[in-house]
Structure 1
Amino acid sequence: MPTIETVTLGAHIAAGFLALFAGLGAILTEKGGRRHRRFGRIYVGSMAFVAGSALLLFALAPTPDRQFLALIAVFSFYFVFSGYRVLSRKRPADGPAALDWAAAGLLCLAGLGLLAMGALGLRDGSSFGTVLVVFGGISAVFGVRDIREFRTDESEPRAWFFEHLTRMGAGYIATVTAFSTVNFLFLPTVLRWLWPTLVGTPGIFLAIRRYERQFGTADG
């Protein structure tokens, strides 16, 4: 008879695959269109389940591997969560809610945890410590950055759009990373974890530049 742990793990994997395809659908469809929003809702919902099930798996078996999985889940989902939440703050008068503050604080804690695990790994001669330090540093930087921005009222008219694009893009990089680490076993460990970031980050910047030019033309 399946246990709670095996059922949770199976559902976790299924939700991860759903997020992978829904996120791609959101990327390929017209921004702001009905299909884009539909794919986006599926993506956010499936990533929320992935994060929640990762935390449950850690609670059921608090091993070092599950601890790492839980921290990565917090890291990954925060970008999706913040990318979704920014849509509710399109107007400068719409400030962050308590939920936004709590999520940013949790990301900072997750970042510190990943940095600590990475430092210990590097001390013990593990090259995987580099991966943990990279993700921990990204978590801490974005968490502190968001908290600082929450304390200011300054916002550009289309800042929400670029924040949404950046955060959802970063969240999808994390989704692809999870798929890569499990399936691309032919790659060296560090490369298996970091290639989505190395490829996806320039892609996000190119998309930002494209829409900056598009909006600039429209405004002109």
Structure 2
Amino acid sequence: MAGMLALASGAVAMAVLKGGSLHRKAGRIFVGAMWFMSAIGAGMAAVSDKRGTVVTVLAGLLTFYLVSTALLTMRRPVQEAREWITGFMMMGLSVGVSAFGLGLAALSGVGGRLDGLPPALYFVFGFVALSAALLDARMLAVGSIDGVHRLARHIWRMEFAMFIATASFFLGQAKQFPEPIRKSGLLAIPVLMVVLHLAYWLVRVLIKRRNLATAARSNTRE
């Protein structure tokens, strides 16, 4: 139920006008659903002896971290949220280091796998977590974040969390769908749409940043 709510509210937040009332409402529902789903999922996986649960713990913790920091970015200035940002940064570092350690263990494991999964998957989670944590550290060192960077930070963290949710539901649980749908390739479409949407908005924000910088230089010369 929480997973479906997260996917539905996330899709609405992606589709409607950014910053509008509906976007904010859908975003709040998405965050709440993702908090619940990632925390419960990671907790249940941590005490389970089933195969493939290690990466579920990593995915849950990473999702919780990304959603929390994305929300915090839009809610409070850096100086007011320094303690929270620091705490979440440490969480991101822990996930990243653990994921890389597991990836290395997979490389030397039987068949080049760990818990039935290839090392590349662990390295991807590790790279994302460590990159996000390093960006947190940079923001804390600067003590502030401007409008364009603030928006980009919010977008990529929320949408990567949405990517994890869609990939987990449509690809991770593909066996729950009828065989004709699995073989058609349709299950990959929602995941691809999230990736394309993320790329579109990041490019758009970066172009806006470049245009603002160009305008500022022109005004300085005048």
> Which residue of 2 is the match for residue 133 of structure 1?
123
Matches for 1:153-172 after TM superposition, within 5 Å: 153-172=143-162
Matches for 1:1-150 after TM superposition, within 5 Å: 14-61=1-48, 65-90=52-77, 94-124=79-109, 125-126=112-113, 128-150=118-140
**Cα deviation code 1:98-147 (max 9, x no counterpart):** 22211110111111111111111122323721111111111112112212
> Which residue of 2 is the match for residue 205 of structure 1?
202
For this pair of structures, how many residues does the alignment match?
199
Q: Secondary structure at the match of 1:40?
A: helix
Could you tell me which amino acid in structure 1 is paired with residue 73 of structure 2? Answer: V
Aligned CA distance change for structure 1 residues 184 and 59 (closer, same or farther; 3 Å): closer
Shift of 1:213: 7.5
Could you tell me which amino acid in structure 1 is paired with residue 4 of structure 2? Answer: F
Rounded Cα–Cα distance in structure 2 between residues aligned with 1:71 and 1:23: 21
Conserved 8 A contact 2:42-2:59: no
Q: TM-score, normalised by structure 2?
A: 0.75
TM superposition outliers: structure 1 runs of 4+ over 6 Å: 213-220
Pick the structure with greater CA Rg.
Answer: 2
Rounded Cα–Cα distance in structure 2 between residues aligned with 1:183 and 1:17: 13
Conserved 8 A contact 2:148-2:205: no
Which structure 1 residue ranges, 5 or more long, are not aligned? Answer: 1-13
Shift of 1:15: 1.1
> In angstroms, what is the RMSD of aligned CA positions?
3.1
Could you tell me which amino acid in structure 1 is paired with residue 98 of structure 2? Answer: G
> Which residue of 2 is the match for residue 9 of structure 1?
none
Q: TM-score, normalised by structure 1?
A: 0.76
Conserved 8 A contact 2:156-2:198: no
